[in-house]
Structure 1
Amino acid sequence: MRCVLVEVLKEQINSHVICSESTMRVEVEKSSMHGIHEDHLRLNDGANTACRLRSNSTYVFADIPLSGCGTELEEDGDYLRFKNEITTFDDISDVITRKHLLEVQFYCQYPKRGNVTLAFTAHRPVVSVWDKGFGRFTYQFEFYTNDQYQEMVDPTLYPVVYEIKSRIYMQIEATSTVNNTVLFVESCRASPYDNQNSQRTYSIIENGCDVDSTVQIHSPSHPRQFRFSMKAFKFIGMYDQVYISCTVLMCEAGRPNTRASQGCVSSTTSATSHHHHRKREAAVESDRHFVSQGPLRLKRAAESSESSALHLNLNLVFIAGCLLAAVGMISAVVMYKARMSKVKYQPLSTDDR
């Protein structure tokens, strides 16, 4: 037997990160990437054409929005941390790679309390993807004010504030140049973080089936829309916000073996059936894509009772004023009686002079 010692060395990659109020700019020096071609580098969201890396004679670089390109949000009590990474790939549409030659992780950290928090746009933009057989299409995930779906919540008002148990109205809409297609929402989950790998999640829809008992499905205006609502809730613990994320895909309308035609299925049936029909009819449905929106913030008890507290304070002021007036009246009477008690009566003179 022989013992072979292999020493694995990590090369130093020279990179720079510039953090602004709404974007991250990452720059990687080409001279430090030995044997790696820039065309085989990607960010977390490699399918989004708006998130492709660019280059010049010196750097490979990208300007990345804090709310896009696969950027993940982590937070603790004091900071928001936006993370992304540059990795190598074989095919831009693959979910795995066997050429993992480079990994450049980077992040920008912002204090929760400060001017930058006011400038951060929480609203998630439209997701643009490209899929073989379906071309280029987009997903838009939005919140609405009521079940009429006429008024979308203004993106500048995010995070959206709800009272607990009030109904949240959501819509996912796909646009595509390919006709005769339908949108299918396979799963939706809630999490206190904008991170699809978050350990703390709550299932809303699973395998096309409603899991949360308050979920209501609303009629769409066309097959590439999905409208649903649920009652607002709060994660137990020190969490003050909720993100909603869904796994979605596009299917050819009218085909019997697509995921959309199957609808709600059990997890076991879904895994077996999906593997079977994907091998036979891969062109009739797209890959699964991840969309998210948020955050939602529940109105604190102090905020929800603000108006009642105001009325209570006014009542207290009125009562206090009445008490002070009463005390003033009692004091005046006592002082008047005290002065009256000090008056001495003098007998009138009987002198007739």
Structure 2
Amino acid sequence: MCIHAMYVLRNNMGKKQCFSCRIHDLIVTGPRGISKQRISTEEYIIKWTPVDKELNDHFPICFVSEARDRYSRVYQSEIRCVIADVGNHEAIVTCNETTMTVEVEKTYLIRKNKDNLHLNDFRDPSCNLTRLSNSTHVVAVMSLNTCGTLVEEDENNIIFKNDITSAAPNEIISRQHDVEIAFSCVYPKRTNLTLGFRHKNPYAFLEKGFGAFTFQFEFFESQRFRKQVDSSTYPVEVYLKQMMFMQIEATTSIPNTELFVETCRATPYDNPNSRISYTIIEHGCVKDNTVQIYPSSRVQFRFGMQAFEFIGAHEEVYITCTVVLCETGVPGTRCTQGCIRSGSGNHRGKREAVGQTSSHSISQGPLHLVKTSDSQASGLSLNLGMNVMFVVGCLLACGVVIYRSKRSKIKYQPLPSSDTD
């Protein structure tokens, strides 16, 4: 459940309203095991996974958003509550080297909501659940990185998660009995997966005071930034120590704006929260000594760095950056602060400046390191030898592929060139 904490806030001391406050916290109460995660300045995700003994029961989940103004006065929204009904949906999940397949029997609740069922990505026609479903089962087949599939990881595995839901994608709350069926596939990290690499289109956002705006992250062929890498050639093949050229560009109808890149990190998976990562830019400061910043306009950020690889069973690198759009010349924004060195004491708190957007995460990739022994790379392959099928209920269907091999310790360190210096 995603909560957009954008309500009319009232001061604890009276009826005074606050329309320029920044959300500080979300107070949540509900069943045991409930948790919250802040994903932007004004958005939280509330997560809860029921257990078997909670099947066929009903649980209230209530929340209040808390905000502060520039004088640190506290404001709270009215309390909001939803009822979570825990139902049982028999599901079969099949995981192979390229796709996830899920089959769910049509219960009364599913049939009642059949016209509203969708996966995480409801805009892609290839992810439409009516395409393969029949009279008795809802059926979906998707590549591991399509249809809004989320990538997570633990110490040993990469986890691909998606949901079949009837909740309205653009609504904050619901007063209907919505279907919510989570399913996932789990693969050992030592396994290489065929993900069907896809170039990422511009990221679009909408915020009060800035309207609609986009961020586009692209790789370019040279430091002149005249020709970007063709999206059909992804993954982008590079050699060790080869210079890579990247550009982030903001597009907005609001005049006098500027772009600021706060952080950039490299990860071996398309997961910005990966446990394995390498910091390129932090708090607006360059951390990698091969990075070069190139001249650009106020709404562009151009930089380059030498290609590298992660040590261990990883052949891909994704670059993820957090970016902010600011009104030009407004004091106190992240753009005017620039690089903030560690220990300087100038880091801003959770409350954002008025003349800037929330921080947004954007990524592009993957980069594929070409070694001298590599043949023409056309993507990674995985020989699983079998498909594994599981049947689970209680809202969670999980497919797992098990291997006997142990994962080696993985860490990052600079690698020397394969060429003789």
| Fold shared by both chains (TM-score > 0.5) | yes
Query: Which one is further off, 205-214 or 174-183?
Result: 174-183
Cα root mean square deviation, aligned: 4.7
SS of aligned partner of 1:275 = coil
Q: Any conservation in 2 of the 1:74–1:194 contact (CA below 8 Å)?
A: no
What is the correspondence of 1:305-320 to structure 2 with a 5 Å cutoff? none
SS of aligned partner of 1:261 = helix
Letter in 2 for 1:32: L
Letter in 1 for 2:336: S
Distance in 2 between residues matched to 1:239 and 1:172, nearest whole Å: 25
SS of aligned partner of 1:273 = coil
User: 1:61/1:159 Cα in 2 relative to 1: closer, same or farther (>3 Å)?
Assistant: same
Q: Any conservation in 2 of the 1:140–1:174 contact (CA below 8 Å)?
A: yes
Q: Which runs of 5+ in 2 are unaligned?
A: 1-51, 56-85, 173-177, 376-421
User: 1:129/1:276 Cα in 2 relative to 1: closer, same or farther (>3 Å)?
Assistant: closer
What is the correspondence of 1:245-256 to structure 2 with a 5 Å cutoff? 245-256=320-331
Counterpart residue number, 1:225: 300
Q: How far did residue 129 of structure 1 move?
A: 1.9
Counterpart residue number, 1:216: 292
Letter in 1 for 2:109: S
Deviations 1:128-152 (A, max 9, x none): 2222222222111110011000010
Matched, 1:292 2:367: no
Fraction of identical pairs, as percent: 39
Q: Which has the higher helix share?
A: 1
Counterpart residue number, 1:325: none
Q: How far did residue 212 of structure 1 move?
A: 0.6
User: 1:258/1:32 Cα in 2 relative to 1: closer, same or farther (>3 Å)?
Assistant: same
Q: Any conservation in 1 of the 2:241–2:307 contact (CA below 8 Å)?
A: yes
State the structure with more CA Rg. 1
Q: How far did residue 295 of structure 1 move?
A: 0.9
What is the correspondence of 1:258-277 to structure 2 with a 5 Å cutoff? 258-266=333-341, 272-277=347-352
Normalising to structure 1: TM-score of the pair? 0.61
Distance in 2 between residues matched to 1:269 and 1:102, nearest whole Å: 46
Distance in 1 between residues matched to 2:171 and 2:356, nearest whole Å: 15
Q: Taking CA–CA contacts closer than 8 Å with sequence separation of 6 or more, which of the two structures ends up with the larger relative contact order?
A: 2
Letter in 1 for 2:365: G
Counterpart residue number, 1:192: 268
Deviations 1:50-95 (A, max 9, x none): 5899999x999999886567533479xxx9975334689999699x
SS of aligned partner of 1:293 = strand
Counterpart residue number, 1:172: 248
Matched, 1:72 2:150: yes
SS of aligned partner of 1:32 = helix
146, 155, 179: which one aligns with 2:231: 155
Distance in 2 between residues matched to 1:81 and 1:213, nearest whole Å: 33
Matched, 1:32 2:78: no
Deviations 1:30-68 (A, max 9, x none): 9537999x99x994x8xxx95899999x99999988656
Normalising to structure 2: TM-score of the pair? 0.52
Deviations 1:177-233 (A, max 9, x none): 22221111110100111112211000000111101111111111x211111110111
Q: Any conservation in 2 of the 1:85–1:103 contact (CA below 8 Å)?
A: yes
Q: How far did residue 164 of structure 1 move?
A: 0.5
Distance in 2 between residues matched to 1:141 and 1:66, nearest whole Å: 22
Q: Any conservation in 1 of the 2:241–2:308 contact (CA below 8 Å)?
A: yes
User: 1:25/1:7 Cα in 2 relative to 1: closer, same or farther (>3 Å)?
Assistant: closer
Letter in 2 for 1:286: T
SS of aligned partner of 1:234 = coil
Query: Which one is further off, 207-216 or 13-22?
Result: 13-22
Counterpart residue number, 2:182: 104
Counterpart residue number, 1:351: none
Counterpart residue number, 2:54: 8
Q: Any conservation in 2 of the 1:174–1:183 contact (CA below 8 Å)?
A: yes
Q: Any conservation in 2 of the 1:203–1:212 contact (CA below 8 Å)?
A: yes
Q: How many residues are paired up?
A: 277
Q: Which has the higher strand share?
A: 2
Distance in 1 between residues matched to 2:304 and 2:322, nearest whole Å: 16
Distance in 1 between residues matched to 2:138 and 2:346, nearest whole Å: 40
User: 1:103/1:288 Cα in 2 relative to 1: closer, same or farther (>3 Å)?
Assistant: farther
Counterpart residue number, 2:43: none
Counterpart residue number, 1:322: none
